[in-house]
Structure 1
Amino acid sequence: MSRDVRRLLIVHHTASPALRELFETVRRGAATDEVEGVEVVARAALRATAVDVFEADGVILGTPVNIGYMSGALKHFFDTVYYPCLEETRRLPYALYVHGNNDATGAVRAVESIAAGLGWERVHRPVTVTGAPGKEDLTACWELGATVAATISPG
């Protein structure tokens, strides 16, 4: 791939209609015409690999809150890529969106802890949505996607 185009990887576990809405909004923000030179690639958390991460110039992570923690699928992703990516992806820009029915603190803390261990750099505050996504939540998700895309854009 030409370095004139950067790759933004969205690794997500989209297990509900609310998460589907958040994911689609993040993807639309990441693919906005306002940011040039960014290819958006989405992978389900159970299918994303270390190669996907190596090929990425930035990562957006999306997960439901399951029993106060990130989804098992996103945890599986981290278990799969952690050691292969530990040295080679330091300083990789990343952001996170989370959906839960109530408190998402534990899920955010867990993802941020693993990302810090990988040496990834957070470029947008986590977007945490509880209950049905409202207009402000969707705007925040769009902005998250656009911000990460703009961060890695070659332009």
Structure 2
Amino acid sequence: MPVKTLLIVYHSLTDGTRQMAEAARAGAAAEGEVAVRLLHASQAGPDDVLAADGLIFATPENLAAISGQLKDFFDRSYYPVLDRVNGRPYASLICAGSDGHNAARQIERIATGWRLKAVAEPLIVCTHAQTPEAILTLKQIAPEELERCRALGESLAAGLALGVF
């Protein structure tokens, strides 16, 4: 039986989203029966999406939206994979300064177009960064939040390994 692959595509400017994506990767890798690929959004493209059995999209919320680099990934990948990834499971990780829900909705709309299947609610970590200085500073995500990300990665990988998704 071929090994299933989980692709995690992320962008991170102040390191918070990278920490969340790394935690999800670590959780997924603990499954053992799933190959996990962690790619920066600038390095990921349609072939990576097509080769994946499951997906996690991770982004900071920038100006109440997904990051420009994650948007660029979707722009480059959307039409080449349209109608070719229907039904594949996905989840999202959002590192937000105050809310995160609009970025989550943007990913949901794109995933709906790709006909992906959400297997978890968007995992939003709020850093409460509200000033220019706080927004631009390097983030340190709390261990309990990273554990939530790890658990999400582990659950998605386990579902892939068991054929649940």
TM-score by length of 1: 0.91
Post-superposition offset of 1:111: 0.6
CA distance in 2, matches of 1:20, 1:13: 7
Structure 1, unpaired ranges of 5+: none
Name the residue aligned to 1:8.
6
Deviation string 1:25-54 (CA, Å, 9 cap, x unpaired) is: 11111101xx23200011111121110011
Match of 1:113 among 109, 113, 130: 109
Q: What percentage of residue pairs aligned between the two structures are identical?
A: 38
- Counterpart amino acid of residue 6 in structure 1: K
Name the residue aligned to 1:17.
15
Q: How many residues align?
A: 151
RMSD after superposition: 1.4
CA distance in 2, matches of 1:20, 1:53: 19
Name the residue aligned to 1:81.
77
Q: 2:85 is paired with a residue of what secondary structure? A: coil
Contact 1:90 1:119 in 2 (8 A): yes
CA distance in 2, matches of 1:82, 1:22: 24
Q: 1:89 is paired with a residue of what secondary structure? A: coil
Post-superposition offset of 1:55: 0.5
Structure 2 residue 73 is matched with structure 1 residue 65: no
Structure 2, unpaired ranges of 5+: 128-139
- Counterpart amino acid of residue 144 in structure 1: L
Deviation string 1:100-138 (CA, Å, 9 cap, x unpaired) is: 111111101111011011100011111100115323311
Name the residue aligned to 1:149.
157
Post-superposition offset of 1:154: 5.0
TM-score by length of 2: 0.86
